[in-house]
Amino acid sequence: MKTRQRGVAIVLAMGVVALAALAATAMMTTQSTWMRQNELASDHVQAQTLIAVGLDWTRALLSDDRRVSNVDYLGEAWALRLPPIPVENGSLTGQIEDQQGKFNLNNLVKDGKVNLAQLASFKRLLSILSLPPTLADAAADWIDTDSEAQPQGGAEDAYYLALPQPYLTANRPLIDIAELALVRGFDDGVRERLRPYVSALPVFTAVNVNTASPEVLAAEIDGLGLDAARALVAKRTSTYFRDQADFLNQLPRDIQPAAENIAFSSNYFQVKMRVTIGSAQARSIALLARTNTNWPTILWRKML
């Protein structure tokens, strides 16, 4: 009997030791997880702080650029992609992109009404990109203030209210090109194809011919053609266009773009930044406006 009792006691003791070991392991795991979570939270805070610092640096760069020159071209410091900059336990990268080198979708509407000249330009761009030109009508209807659909591919409230998840047209300028996801016909593939060539700026803007792609130049300048636009872009790699007379001298004599549609400097820039601290990462995108004062204003900023 005594031997049996000793055996039971030993088993119980071993069980107590095992439970204690499990409890200790659980406590250590919980503490390790808590410490890791705190470390990640700290890294995220540092990453977001560096994003803000980097954005202020780009604003200073653009401000200094305006003081030096009233012409913006791709050979300037702001246009260079920022290589990874080492920071403690991580790195910072960034890029500034001229938004006036793109077709401003909000140019489609002026004073609430469709701007027919800009509508034609956007249709040319869509054709160049092998996209349906009727998409331009849907985009114009989304922005204009009336309820009358454009004749080809247009869409007003009646179309959107008939969808499985109904909504109304915006009847206002786009804030971000991401809004195109709501517009008839602008599916993921269309938006991805358009992304390098379009912007959404708060006012009518002329296209900066020093930074525009051949596709945008051919769309904005009626009669130019994509091959001629590519030749212009090739020429400006060695010397940028300084003014309207300089640019017009490079065009065929029978092509005269409207003066209000072309520019040689820019006021709107998009800044993309990414910071990695340890295993934490922060990304942001912001739209800057260099108007009224040299110091750029942040029109909007998104953390990605």
Give the pLDDT confidence of 120-174 residue by residue, as tens digits: 999 999 999 999 999 999 999 999 999 999 988 999 999 999 999 999 999 999 9
Q: Are 104 and 200 in contact (CB under 8 A)?
A: yes
* All domains of the chain in start order, with CATH: 2-100+267-303 (3.30.1300.30), 102-263 (1.10.40.60)
State the pLDDT at residue 267: 96
- The pairing of strands 103-104 and 268-277 is unpaired
State the pLDDT at residue 43: 66
Q: Which residues contact 170 (CB under 8 A, 6 or more apart)?
A: 142, 143, 179, 182
Residue 162 tokens read as 């008939």
Give the pLDDT confidence of 282-292 residue by residue, as tens digits: 889 999 999 87
State the pLDDT at residue 91: 80
Going by pLDDT thresholds of 50, 70 and 90, the confidence category of residue 21 is very low
